[in-house]
Chains A and B, each alone.
Chain A
Amino acid sequence: MISLRGIGRDFLLGRQTVHALADIDIDIRQGEYVSIMGPSGSGKSTLLNVIALLDRPTRGNYTLDEQDVTGLPDEKLAKIRREHIGFVFQFFHLIPRLTATENVEIPLVLSGMAAAERQDRVRSALVTFGLEGRADHRPDQLSGGERQRVAIARATILQPSVILADEPTGNLDQATGNQVIDMLEKLNAEKVTLIIVTHDADIGRRAKRQLRLVDGRIIADIHGGDHE
């Protein structure tokens, strides 16, 4: 359960203060499927970053699974990111010198898991996402869709309860993009909370709950999925 209360995020641009987020109140239950849409600069990425605990809000309170995480120190936040949150990016953000296997392995390495146990987990994750033939390829030897699948495998390897995706199809053609969304939805079917930021209305409509952001405010919160 994600609970945001009165969340605001200001940026200082020279002398001007930009209110990227203004007074956001929202509850997202475990296992929900939410899309966030809105014009460019409306604060979608900022909202996702706050939820991901990558960015600290200027105001407001954030409660994650009954725990107030608003002012936690870096060490604690990192642990929560590692264990509860999976992030999927528009630009994949794979480490170029590492193979697919090694990229997927990073969260396990960071968590201090023993090498033997890591191997099995990474192998089965690669199989799950249809990457077993690409295990030893580096990112520059992979297609866009494959890169995003590696990124999703990496985001899910520690079985997070929340997956956040910021325009995950933004750099993919439509067919590949749809495959990626299918994969994310499959995860959601297993009760993982899924939040997708997108510019693509078709993708946005696939979510059961659709948020619309303008100027840092939620102007629409449609629970529509049940009727489709």
Chain B
Amino acid sequence: MAKLIQTEEETMLQDAARALLDNSAPVSRLRALRDAGQTRDDALWQEMVAAGWAGILVPEAAGGVDMGHAAAHVLAREMGKTLTVSPFLSTAVIAVSVLRQLQDSRSQAALKAIAEGAHTYALALDEGAKFNPDRIELKAEKRGNGYVLNGEKRFVVDGGTADRVLVLAQSDDGLCLFDLAADREGLTRSSTDMIDSRDAADLTFENVELSGDELLGAAGDGASLLRFGLEAGQAALAAETTGLAQAAFGMTTDYLKERKQFGVPIASFQALQHRAAHLWCELELTSSAILHVGRMLDLDPGNATLAVSLAKARATDTAQLAVREGVQMHGGIGMTDAYDMGFYMKRARVAAEWLGDYGYHAAQVARMRGF
């Protein structure tokens, strides 16, 4: 297995990403969007498209740069540091990882549309309050060559603004994955006012009629097609969350050095030093899991499940700790809306739930380790 060190190429990508994001998407951008009641940043997304990020996992034949998952994680991590609002995960990671598995011309065209920035995607999966891809009740009834969808999806991230939706449905032949336009008749999207100020929506499908062409793969392939998309998404979300944790930690240690009480910087108090040092250790362990999952998805994708769940579990846990300590060690200012730490805390909570929480992924790890 490749070494667990960031390559030079990855470091160059990181620097380029940082430059783009610092310029176009500092945390103040999220604040401005929030204040304006917006959850979509088209100009930024087009900038990312131009930089090749939308096509980071798209094959070159379909117009992408095909740099692999470790590279996608570098981008996700940098976005996490400044809480970037973008459909990157839903579109460039999850949708692309699903579509890439199919060779047909419509999937190739879909990949091309993503790389070009013509389409963004959302994944409509959850039906309950917890991630549970095995319990799908939204119905796909066969009618002629096509299907009719009825049912509801919840917590569809980017679902209020995406151009297209991937939806997992139950049919007589098993689970089916469809790729349809979001403005389809019978599909109602109601955006939720999320704590992280980003886009999520509940989707209601009422006799939504689909052609057979909108089914991805064959009937019954839904779960297996989605599996790799989910794993890719979970890993990238873990990377984003780790970036978030690193940034929250950086803000906190900066503050410890700057804030004075009792006539000295609060960084001189051992009680705080040791908690900061402990948090740094946690970040180090989690960073290893992130590097590892990138290598696994790129080099041995068929066996990456353990690495994915390990990364998502660790990242979730570490980010929660980082934001809790972040708020506490800032004192009163950490509780104010005017200070950014709250944004980190709220995003960490949403990221913890999306695509499986700590318990879900720890249980996956345990199962694979013989529990």
- Same complex for A and B? Answer no
Task: List chain B positions with a Cβ less than 8 A from chain A.
Answer: none
